Amino acid sequence: MPIKLTNIRFNVQARPYDQKITGGATCSIPAGSTTCTVSLPQDIINGTTGYLHSGYEVRSTTEATFFAPIWENIAWHTLGPSVTGFDYNETTNILQVYVNQPGDG
């Protein structure tokens, strides 16, 4: 960390017609091609948590009823855990450690 996400690339099956990506970002994929890339910057830095969940559709440019939904899912968690306590049972030799993971629901 830190990481800077810069683009999202869509990979699709080649089709004999133009396709387009719609939703949180848009781009066109010419007939016979399989990818398009869109600028979608996101900084992931230490001491943060986050979740990106965006919906997109792969659509035919000539047939309005054809589309397939797709989802982007990116989660990160860079907050370190802290030990909040412990118990040791001398009879069983079991150590229980209590840990807090901030930002983890």
Other Cβ atoms within 10 Å of 56 Cβ, number: 21
What distance in Å separates the CA atoms of residue 84 and residue 69, rounded to the nearest whole number?
44
Cβ–Cβ < 8 Å for 75, 53: no
Domain limits, the chain: 3-79
What local confidence, expressed as pLDDT, does residue 1 receive?
72
Residue 58, Cβ neighbours under 10 Å: how many? Answer: 19
Per-residue pLDDT, averaged over 76-85, amounts to 88
- Of how many residues is the chain composed? 105
Note the pLDDT tens digit of each residue in 18-69: 999 999 889 999 999 999 999 989 899 888 888 888 899 999 998 888 888 8
pTM score: 0.68
